[in-house]
Amino acid sequence: MLVLDFVRYHQHLTGTKIGCREGDCGACTVLIGELIDNQLRYRTATSCLTPIGNVHGKHVVTIEGINIPKQLNLMQHAMQQENATQCGFCTPGFVMSLAGFCLSDTTPTSENAIASIDGNICRCTGYKSIERAAHTVAIAKQSNAGIAAIDFAIQQNMVPAYFKDIEQRLRGIALLEHPDHEQPIFLGGGTDLYVQKHDDMVHAPVHLLFNQQHVNGITQQGNTCIIGASATVTDVAESPIIQKHFPRLSQYIKLVSSTPIRNVATIAGNLVNASPIGDMTIWFLALNATVHLASAKGQHRTVPLRNFYKGYKMLDKHAKEFIQQISFELPSGNKHFHFEKVCKRTHLDIASVNSAICLTINNEAIVDASISAGGVGPIPMHLAKTSTFLAGKIISNDVIKQAIAIAQTEVSPIGDVRGSEAYKRLLLGQLIKAHFIQLVKVE
């Protein structure tokens, strides 16, 4: 069952609201605290898409759990002072997201406080007053003179004093071994499965992969990066290895879903969902990643991600195989990476067309190129002919124009709610130009 239903219908904690049940509105936001490297860490999640098995051994905090006796907590007070609530339906979600910001190690800027509520929508108050409340919370967090975020949050009435004991209490929980290795449905964060098959999933036998050690973590061996299948988009965003090799990482990450979705959305989930516009899939296609598959019987094999997609939602993967990890060579030196995405609205939207490039350049010459594009065919595409054409060329406007013309021969977009065929073809050309403008400053 989902955390949302457990909280509301079993625990009768009705402060957590049900809006969309699709991860879009944030009314159901809760905090999940867990021990990472033996230290307590909190992240937000949309409880409507979080299977209860994924929070085993963790601290689930609803809006009731951050009430402070006989007074408003700091975030509630800020919302009240700024008149940032009207019907109040969205308010618990906003307050939980701001609580997540307070408990995090994020730099306490107004920009980051506002970014923390990127997964919450309000239909009646208007966002300016909510932004002002977020600003007030950021100012309060700025006064931290270096004590641990949780201790400071308690001191400032952001969360109640019992949070002090949680780390110890979590250490005391005996974690259960996972018994369901043979179950047919692999489950990561659930952000695709519970949207697509909500009614079926509640009764489906699932193999929970989210918390399992052997499919988690981000490591580096030489120049190869290895990402565990259940690493989340936030894990990628916060990894020092990835941050070091992808200088524009924060710009790209904010284009992917929202904070509470990124906190649980896994890399393997994105690859196996096989959406033609999956953002992480497009990244890793350009990076020429290798998919490492395993089966419950201990058999292993690898597949280049470029060969993983055989047709619309058809994969080079047997039903009983799961992704254990992916690996790829990190961009460094003269090898550069760039990602672009165009949506109907900039944030919390899926792409009309997205594209990534990995370009090795020596002076003006392209040593090697790898371009991927989404939204222009039935599968997420590696543009093999375009990539081959670019290798060995001296960068010029003419070469870029020729590359775009070749790319057009490789794709087969269809018109849909995200744009006509002609529009998507135009976008692909513009995104290829944008890669070069951003990476090599051509005009």
Ligand X SMILES: Cc1cc2nc3c(=O)[nH]c(=O)nc-3n(C[C@H](O)[C@H](O)[C@H](O)COP(=O)(O)OP(=O)(O)OC[C@H]3O[C@@H](n4cnc5c(N)ncnc54)[C@H](O)[C@@H]3O)c2cc1C
List residues binding ligand FES (CB under 6 A). 18-21, 23-28, 46, 48, 85-91, 122-125
Residue 266 is given by DSSP the state B
HSE (CB half, 13 Å, CA atoms) of 394? 1
The one of ligand X, ligand FES, none whose footprint includes residue 371, by CB under 5 to 8 A per kind, is none
CA distance 282 to 271: 9
Closer to ligand X by Cβ: residue 185 or 367 = 185
Tokens 């944008």 found at: 434
Nearest residue to the partner ligand X, using Cβ: 269
Q: Which two tokens stand for residue 128?
A: 């300016």
By the rule CB under 6 A, 350 interacts with ligand X: yes
Site for ligand X contains 193 (CB under 6 A)? yes
67 binds, among ligand FES, ligand X, none (CB under 5 to 8 A by kind): none
How many residues in total does the chain contain?
443
- Using CB under 6 A, pick the residue from 16, 29, 106, 191 that binds ligand X: 191
Pairing outcome for strands 314-315 and 309-311 = antiparallel
Say whether residue 428 binds ligand X (CB under 6 A).
no
**Angle formed at CA 340 by CA 274 and CA 411, multiple of 5 degrees:** 55
Nearer to ligand X, 158 or 268 (CB): 268
CA distance 306 to 170: 42
Residues 247-266 contacting ligand X, CB under 6 A: 256-257, 261, 265-266
Binder to ligand X among 13, 72, 195, 241 (CB under 6 A)?
A: 195
H/E stretch holding 353 reads strand 351-362
List 19, 92, 278, 331, residue binding ligand X (CB under 6 A): 278
Q: Report the Cα 441 to chain-centroid distance in Å.
A: 29
Q: Which amino acid is at 78?
A: A
- Residue 63 gets which letter from DSSP? G
209 binding ligand X? (CB under 6 A):
yes
- Least Å distance between CB 338 and ligand FES? 31
Q: Environment class of residue 139 by beta-carbon count within 10 Å: exposed (0-12), middle (13-18) or buried (19+)?
A: middle
Which span sits near ligand X by CB under 6 A: 32-40, 108-116, 274-282, 417-425?
Answer: 274-282
Interface with ligand X (CB under 6 A): 22-24, 185-193, 195, 209, 215, 229, 256-257, 261, 265-266, 268-270, 272-273, 278-280, 322-323, 350
